[in-house]
């Protein structure tokens, strides 16, 4: 049977298989954090989107982007470059506006392919920090990278911030609202994200449901190989917050739907005294394999 024989059926089933099925605790209003992720560019501008359970590009995610604070504490992903230093404390950045229906690498004149029909101007001085300067499991040099070459959807809404004195290298960034200061820790970068007993059960159920959905869609046995899941998540870094009790663990894994849609999944665990109090997953579409 030809793969993707029925776009409507496979898309409906794909959406049902996007989440690993892990149930996440409802955050306490007194402890829940507002986190943002994005990219700093050599112009001094950083573009951010909220790290929420909403898929990127959704109306809900765009609405949350529009409520981004006027000032935010922002830091680069852990790296070995001198500017900004790896493991440095965060610094305050001021919001300068919003951008809708844009692709930030083009907007910022970064080196990028033109497979999506854009004749953007490239500034040869604008460069990305080399991937070898990040921890070994770093999945991107630009958070807004489209993934597959034919994935041409623009960002529906991004918040724009001014970050002074960070030089000519573009780097991914993480930001936290309403926190005085935080430090980025890469000591556990690359290690598997620990699973709880409940999550192990839910991963097993997710894989069983994935196989069942695949076989219903294509009328054939599933024999493609192991199914990627939350069990494949690896730690990117941890944020040590200023009150010493709270921390945030950021991990990632890749999800492939039964319709061959690729997603980057970022898992955010909020911890108090080392105990996870809330987990959320942010899914970023990367196109079709």
Contact 210, 231 (CB under 8 A): no
Would you say residue 124 lies in a domain?
yes
Per-residue pLDDT of 146-199, as tens digits, reads 888 788 888 888 999 998 778 788 999 999 988 878 888 888 999 999 999 999
Domain that holds residue 13: 7-288
Per-residue pLDDT of 98-143, as tens digits, reads 998 889 999 999 987 667 767 788 898 999 999 998 888 899 999 9
Compute the distance between CA of residue 112 and CA of residue 102 in angstroms, rounded to an integer.
Answer: 14
- Domain tally for the chain? 1
Per-residue b or e along 58-72, where b marks 16 or more CB atoms closer than 10 Å to that residue's CB:
eeebbebbeebbeeb
Ramachandran class of 116: left when φ > 0, alpha when ψ lies in -120 to 50, beta otherwise: alpha
Would you say residue 76 lies in a domain?
yes
Would you say residue 32 lies in a domain?
yes
Single out the residue of 110, 46, 105 nearest to residue 74, CA to CA: 46
pLDDT of residue 2: 37
Would you say residue 249 lies in a domain?
yes
Who wins on pLDDT, 57 or 21?
57
Per-residue pLDDT of 241-272, as tens digits, reads 877 788 999 999 999 999 999 999 999 999 99
| Model confidence band, residue 7 (pLDDT cutoffs 50, 70, 90) | very low
Would you say residue 2 lies in a domain?
no
Would you say residue 1 lies in a domain?
no
Would you say residue 26 lies in a domain?
yes
| Model confidence band, residue 12 (pLDDT cutoffs 50, 70, 90) | very low
């Amino acid at each position: 049977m030809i793969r993707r024989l029925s776009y409507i059926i496979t898309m409906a089933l794909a959406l049902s298989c996007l989440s690993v099925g892990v149930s996440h605790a409802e955050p306490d209003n007194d402890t829940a954090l507002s986190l943002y992720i994005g990219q700093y560019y050599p112009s001094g501008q950083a573009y951010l989107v909220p790290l929420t359970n909403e898929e990127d590009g959704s109306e809900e995610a765009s609405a949350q982007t529009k409520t981004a604070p006027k000032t935010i504490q922002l830091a680069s992903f852990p790296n070995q470059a001198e500017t900004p230093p790896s493991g440095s404390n965060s610094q305050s950045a001021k919001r300068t506006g919003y951008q809708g229906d844009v692709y930030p690498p083009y907007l910022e004149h970064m080196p990028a392919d033109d497979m999506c029909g854009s004749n953007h101007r490239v500034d040869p001085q604008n460069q990305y920090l080399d991937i070898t300067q990040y921890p070994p499991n770093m999945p991107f040099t630009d958070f807004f990278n489209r993934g597959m070459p034919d994935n041409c959807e623009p960002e529906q809404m991004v918040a724009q911030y001014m970050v002074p004195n960070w030089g000519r290298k573009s780097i991914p960034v993480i930001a936290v609202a309403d926190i005085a200061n935080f430090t980025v820790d890469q000591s556990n970068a690359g290690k598997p994200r620990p699973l709880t007993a409940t999550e192990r059960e839910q991963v097993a159920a997710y894989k069983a449901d994935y196989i069942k959905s695949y076989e219903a869609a294509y009328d054939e046995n599933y024999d493609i190989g192991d199914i990627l899941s939350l069990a494949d998540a690896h730690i990117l870094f941890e944020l040590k917050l200023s009150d010493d009790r709270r921390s945030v663990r950021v991990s990632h894994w890749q999800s492939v739907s039964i319709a061959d849609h690729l997603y980057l999944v970022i898992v955010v665990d909020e911890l108090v005294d080392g105990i996870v109090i809330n987990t959320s997953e942010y899914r970023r579409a990367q196109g079709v394999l």
